[in-house]
């Protein structure tokens, strides 16, 4: 888990244990993930480049991959585009409106019934914090004629 004060002690400790260094680029990527909440690698790159214009997208992808392997961030596919990254501790179900693209967060316990059923019926262990459900948000449902929804 990341510490709330700076977010880098867990990363620094884990990197050191693996014989790796904490680089300014790694710190910038971690800071961007924390600042943005949910972000694609491209959005993270744009945020990082505000402080370090020379950092390229390849560095962002490599750093995100490393951080995911050591358990500090996770990715979720919220649709057809690039995955979004967030802190590992940031766990919830994503509700994606296929009409306007709004992403809403819902508590993972809403998936408890499905999680139990998948486990008992077919032996599948669902990670509800890594799920994106597609549908239509309440705003779009109110403004879309019933025959189109």
Residues 59-83 have pLDDT tens digits of 999 999 999 988 888 888 877 778 8
Give ∠ CA 135-136-139 in degrees, rounded to 5.
160
Residue 6, pLDDT > 60, answer no
Q: Which helix (H) or strand (E) holds 106?
A: strand 103-106
**CATH number of the domain that residue 143 is part of:** 3.30.1490.190
Between residues 103 and 50, which one has the greater pLDDT? 50
Q: Which helix (H) or strand (E) holds 40?
A: none
Residues 17, 70, single domain; the answer is yes
**CATH number of the domain that residue 58 is part of:** 1.10.10.10
Mean pLDDT of the chain, nearest integer = 85
Residues 83, 24, single domain; the answer is yes
Dump pLDDT digits (tens) for 98-112: 888 888 888 889 999
Host domain of residue 53? 9-87
Q: Where are the alpha helices (DSSP H) in the chain?
A: 9-17, 24-36, 41-51, 57-69, 112-122, 138-143
| pLDDT for the residue numbered 28 | 95
Task: Tell me the mean pLDDT in the region 80-97.
Answer: 80
| pLDDT for the residue numbered 146 | 63
Final residue belonging to a domain, choices 87, 109, 126: 87
Count of other CB atoms within 10 angstroms of residue 66: 18
pTM: 0.72
Residues 83, 120, single domain; the answer is no
| pLDDT for the residue numbered 98 | 85
């Amino acid at each position: 888990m990341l510490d709330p004060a700076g977010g880098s002690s867990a990363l620094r400790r884990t990197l050191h244990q693996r014989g790796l260094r904490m680089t300014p680029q790694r710190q910038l990527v971690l800071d961007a993930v924390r600042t943005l909440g949910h972000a694609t690698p491209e959005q993270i790159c744009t945020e990082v480049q505000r402080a370090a214009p020379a950092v390229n997208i390849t560095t962002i992808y490599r750093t995100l991959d490393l951080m995911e392997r050591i358990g500090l961030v996770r990715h979720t596919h919220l649709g057809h585009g690039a995955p979004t990254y967030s802190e590992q501790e940031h766990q919830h179900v994503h509700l994606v409106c296929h009409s306007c693209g709004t992403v809403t967060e819902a508590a993972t316990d809403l998936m408890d019934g499905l999680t139990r059923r998948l486990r008992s019926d077919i032996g599948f262990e669902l990670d509800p914090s890594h799920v994106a459900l597609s549908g239509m948000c309440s705003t779009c449902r109110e403004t879309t004629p019933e025959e189109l929804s």
